[in-house]
Structure 1
Amino acid sequence: MVFLSALLFGPYVGAFSGGVGSMLADLILGYPHYAPATLVIKACEGFVVGFLVRHNPRLRSRIQWKTFTVLLGVLIGFLLAAVGSSYYSGEIELTLGFTTFTLSLPWELWIILGALAAALISLVGFSTDPQFGWTVFSIIVGGLTMVLGYFTYQMFIIGWLFNIQVIAVAEIPVNIGQMTIGALIALPTAKMIWQAFPQIRREAEREG
């Protein structure tokens, strides 16, 4: 995962695993027209997350950090609830590799998940790690880099290179959903790994 590798190992590993790994996935899954863009966009995404998470601005007050973390938790929760209930509720098709599944998801599920995400991120900020908000912020900026990158590619480049027409605006919610779900997986996973292997985080802080 792009976010997780960038959080744990920094901008260069994040860029390599994000760019090369995601490009290979596009080639294997039959999307070669996205492979060149994915190499660049996902590499930028991984680099941005890895760079930002290692350059913490060091706010003076724990209250400032807690407030910052709560606000970002609310933002993540809102994105999950809004995008999920609008674009991923009802009958949806989920493709994993070459297999497609049909699922029925009520919109209320996304509201609940959004509220839980906001509450959990806020809880971490208040109870154990006030600076957790900066990790969330790093992922949001990296994720938005990905969203903007694919929008630009679909809007101006893919038609010229491959004669494929894509409604770029329609893909924005899909990519925001991908960013949000990726964040919700990477954040607790990174937190658990940092707790189990604190030397990884100490090394990252020294690099920053």
Structure 2
Amino acid sequence: MKVNIVRFAVFTALVYVFTVVVQFAQPFTGGYFNLGEAAIYVCALISDPLTTGLAGGIGSALADATTGYGIFAPATLLIKFTEGYVASLLFKKMGRSNSSIANWLVSLIYFVAISAIGIKFFSGNLTLSLSSYSFSFNIPWEFWVLVGAIIMIIPFIIERRTKAGARYASLLLAGMIMVTGYFLYEFFISNPLTGRPSIAAVFEVPVNFGQALVGAAVAIPVYSFLRKGGYIEDEEDKSEDKDKK
């Protein structure tokens, strides 16, 4: 499998920019929320798996190394490479399917995971400390069920066509690699090294789910726009042209 050098260079830079332009630090793990998944997923939809994996892994790792999150750079290189590679591969395999079963299954997994984690760790009386200020508030468990339900139907709100749902499912499946990878790295390596409790890695799981959701929500409309505008052409376009003939 050959790497498209031009796309690799462009998307590596794009992943880097998207990762550093918005960063919200997570004190429980020392990590941060970012928009890098949006660039990785766009690349996955229009490029080959190896180009996507390399651009995602190198661009994201460089972002970690240059913005004060160097402890995550080695893990990021591997996690984001795998995420990008799998996202592109899954899209090639299932992203053009007319079946919505995969979409529903992936959405259900996200619903269960987010609801369960929210109910277990983020419900009840919580205290948020910001500098010298502390705020106490109560979050009912029903709130997380509602959040999970909203997330479950996002694919069908973004774009009602079945194929768009299959695209969404392929990206979110790859997103689970990112969520799981960072949880394991933070639980066993980065949190112990920085003196944080290992279990605190759980608190970044919803954040990383959010990264995958936002990334897919951005990438799918961008991909549709590029196709409709004639800026890219894939096998789906070619098959549609054959049908017209």
* TM-score normalised by the chain length of structure 2: 0.63
Deviation at 1:192, TM superposition (A): 2.0
Q: Which amino acid aligns with 1:111?
A: V
Q: Which amino acid aligns with 2:210?
A: I
1:172 matched to 2:206? The reply is: no
RMSD over equivalenced CA pairs, Å: 3.4
1:142 matched to 2:172? The reply is: no
Counterpart CA distance in 2 for 1:101 and 1:146 is 28
Structure with greater helix share of residues: 1
Indicate which of 99, 109, 116 corresponds to 2:143. 109
1:21 matched to 2:57? The reply is: no
1:58 matched to 2:93? The reply is: yes
Unaligned runs of 5+ in 1: 28-34, 159-163
Deviation at 1:49, TM superposition (A): 1.8
1:153 aligns with 189
Deviation at 1:75, TM superposition (A): 0.7
- Conservation of the 8 A alpha-carbon contact between 2:95 and 2:163: no
Deviation at 1:138, TM superposition (A): 0.9
Q: Which amino acid aligns with 1:91?
A: L
**Alpha carbons of 1:77 and 1:93: their partners in 2 closer, same or farther (altered >3 Å)?**
same
Moved over 4 A (4+): 59-63, 98-103, 122-126, 199-205
Deviation at 1:137, TM superposition (A): 0.6
**Alpha carbons of 1:108 and 1:130: their partners in 2 closer, same or farther (altered >3 Å)?**
closer
* TM-score normalised by the chain length of structure 1: 0.72
Structure with bigger gyration radius: 2
1:184 aligns with 213
**Alpha carbons of 1:181 and 1:130: their partners in 2 closer, same or farther (altered >3 Å)?**
closer
Unaligned runs of 5+ in 2: 1-34, 44-51, 237-245
Q: Which amino acid aligns with 1:46?
A: K
What is the count of residue pairs matched by the alignment? 187
Deviation at 1:44, TM superposition (A): 2.2
Deviation at 1:130, TM superposition (A): 4.4
